[in-house]
Amino acid sequence: MVDNPLQRLDAVELVKLGKTTITLGGLGAAVLVVIVTIYASRLVGSGLRRLRQRSIGAAPSLYIVEKLATYGLRVFGLLLALSVMGVNLTSLTVFAGALGVGAGLGLQGLVKDFASGISLVFERLVAVGDFVELSNGSRGVVHEIGPRSTRIRTNDSTDVIVPNSVLVTEQVINWTLHNSTRRIRVPFVTAFGVDKEKVREAVLKAAHSVPFTSPDDSTRRSQVWLVGYGESALKFELIVWPTIESVRRPAAIFAAYTWAIDDALRGAGIEIPYPQRELRLRDLFGEEGEDARAALRLEPRAARRAKAKAAQPSSNDAALDLTREDPEEPPLPVQGPPNKT
90 vs 80: CA distance, rounded Å: 13
pLDDT at 239: 92
Burial class (CB in 10 A: 0-12, 13-18, 19+), 34: middle
- Tell me: the pLDDT tens digits for 224-272? 999 999 888 999 999 999 988 888 888 889 999 999 999 999 999 998 8
Phi and psi at residue 334, in whole multiples of 5°?
-110, 115
CA–CA–CA angle 196, 238, 173 (5° rounding)? 160
User: Pick from 335, 336, 334, 331: which is nearest to 50 by CA?
Assistant: 331
The pLDDT-based confidence of 328 (bands split at 50, 70, 90) is very low
- Tell me: the pLDDT tens digits for 204-228? 999 999 988 888 888 888 999 999 9
Q: Is pLDDT larger for residue 264 or for residue 175? A: 264
Q: Is pLDDT larger for residue 286 or for residue 213? A: 213
Phi and psi at residue 134, in whole multiples of 5°?
-85, 170
Q: In the chain, pLDDT over 90 holds for what percent of residues? A: 18
Q: Where are the domains of the chain?
A: 5-106, 120-174, 184-271+308-323
The pLDDT-based confidence of 280 (bands split at 50, 70, 90) is low
pLDDT at 290: 65
- CATH number given to 120-174: 2.30.30.60
Q: In the chain, pLDDT over 70 holds for what percent of residues? A: 65
pLDDT at 327: 42
- Tell me: the pLDDT tens digits for 287-298? 556 666 666 665
User: Pick from 169, 53, 70: which is nearest to 116 by CA?
Assistant: 169
Q: Does domain 5-106 have CATH number 1.10.287?
A: yes
Q: Does domain 184-271+308-323 have CATH number 3.30.70.100?
A: yes
Question: Mean pLDDT: which of 59-68, 218-227, 328-337 is highest?
Answer: 218-227
The pLDDT-based confidence of 187 (bands split at 50, 70, 90) is very high
pLDDT at 340: 41
